């Protein structure tokens, strides 16, 4: 007898059922939890609580955790290839996801030097511009690149010290929900990444309008969705990130960060 797997949401480091008890079947077979507004609020609250500790960790430690996540993802490669439909394309998507985590793991302790600067000033002062994490970042996974597209957005956000509330691809959510199992066993603290599944039209408006979400990444959204997100985000001056997700770049990390200018007197 086969025991069918029960998928759950990933909130605050735990696998939970949707508070509404609802589910849907994207492939006609497996029940996937249909997250609600309450689930989204819980995920944002968990992320906000986890932010001070995660952003306060050393860059080296964040890099070690990202690298561990890459190891765990690679170790479960055959499972992900099956979830992604098998074949060369699925193998390529998995390999790219693993490489992305490793690549950004190596950038955690180099960001300040690359994206920051020392500014020339007229006076006995040093003037530095240094990057700081934005805070809670909402991420919408693309529908056509369910694993790779999500990892390419989560990794740079975590690299810079942000915390994440991510919406899995509605039509292909299993890779994202299984990625949550990888993150749960990779030393990532609870609440740093929260992954919800459900209907985009139901969850995206609340994610965009939530007052405690500091930025929302729309690389995985359609044109109409982006327009509605921008309108909702305007009410709380939320940053809307529209940088393309096709290439890895340290400057993509800066899209999820704020630049802070610091003055310091020169000692005699």
Q: Which CATH architecture has domain 9-265?
A: 3-Layer(aba) Sandwich (3.40)
Quote the pLDDT of residue 235. Answer: 83
Quote the pLDDT of residue 2. Answer: 65
Who wins on pLDDT, 153 or 253?
Answer: 153
Average pLDDT, the chain: 90
Average pLDDT over residues 162-186: 94
Average pLDDT over residues 105-116: 87
pLDDT tens column, 214-246:
999 988 888 889 999 998 888 888 889 888 766
Average pLDDT over residues 112-125: 82
pLDDT tens column, 79-89:
999 999 889 99
Quote the pLDDT of residue 121. Answer: 84
Lay out the sheet containing 9-11: strands in order across: 14-16, 9-11, 193-196, 163-167, 136-140, 215-217, 239-241
Quote the pLDDT of residue 5. Answer: 77
For helices 87-105 and 59-75, the axis angle rounded to 10 degrees is 160
Q: Could you give the 3-state DSSP secondary structure of residue 23?
A: strand
DSSP designation for 131 = E
Q: How far apart are CA 138 and CA 164, in angstroms?
A: 6
| Whole-number Cα distances in Å, 98 to 24, 34, 83, 190, 230 | 29, 28, 16, 21, 31
pLDDT tens column, 12-57:
999 999 988 898 888 778 889 999 999 999 999 999 999 999 999 9
pLDDT tens column, 134-161:
999 999 998 888 899 999 999 999 999 9
Quote the pLDDT of residue 245. Answer: 64
Q: What band does 248 get if pLDDT is binned at 50, 70 and 90?
A: confident
Q: What band does 260 get if pLDDT is binned at 50, 70 and 90?
A: confident
| Whole-number Cα distances in Å, 82 to 15, 91, 109, 173 | 22, 9, 35, 13
Residue boundaries of the structural domains of the chain = 9-265
b/e 9-27 (16+ beta carbons within 10 angstroms → b): bbbbbebeebeeeebeebe
Average pLDDT over residues 110-114: 84
Quote the pLDDT of residue 91. Answer: 95
Is residue 267 over pLDDT 60? yes
Q: What band does 262 get if pLDDT is binned at 50, 70 and 90?
A: confident
Is residue 1 over pLDDT 60? no
């Amino acid at each position: 007898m086969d025991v069918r797997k029960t998928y759950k949401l990933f909130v605050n480091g735990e696998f939970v059922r949707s508070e509404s008890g609802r589910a849907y079947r994207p492939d006609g077979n497996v029940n996937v939890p249909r997250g609600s507004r309450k689930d989204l609020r819980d995920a944002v609250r968990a992320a906000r609580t986890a932010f001070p500790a995660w952003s306060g960790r050393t860059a080296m430690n964040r890099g070690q955790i990202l690298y561990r996540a890459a190891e765990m993802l690679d170790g479960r490669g055959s499972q992900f290839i099956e979830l992604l439909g098998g074949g060369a394309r699925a193998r390529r998507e998995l390999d790219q996801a693993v490489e992305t985590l490793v690549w950004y793991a190596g950038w955690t302790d180099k960001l300040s030097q690359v994206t920051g600067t020392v500014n020339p000033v007229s006076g006995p002062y040093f003037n530095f511009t240094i990057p700081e994490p934005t805070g809670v970042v909402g991420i919408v996974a693309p529908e056509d690149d369910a694993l790779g597209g999500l990892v390419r957005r989560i990794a740079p956000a975590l690299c810079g010290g942000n915390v994440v509330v991510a919406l899995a691809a509605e039509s292909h959510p299993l890779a994202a929900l299984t990625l949550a199992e990888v993150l749960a066993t990779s030393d990532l603290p609870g609440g740093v990444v929260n992954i919800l599944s459900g209907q985009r039209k139901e969850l995206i408006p609340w994610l965009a309008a939530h007052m405690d979400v500091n930025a929302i990444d729309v690389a995985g959204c359609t044109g109409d969705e982006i327009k509605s997100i921008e309108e909702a985000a305007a009410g709380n001056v939320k940053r809307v990130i529209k940088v393309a997700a096709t290439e890895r770049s340290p400057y993509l990390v800066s899209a999820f960060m704020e630049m802070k200018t610091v003055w310091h007197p020169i000692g005699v």
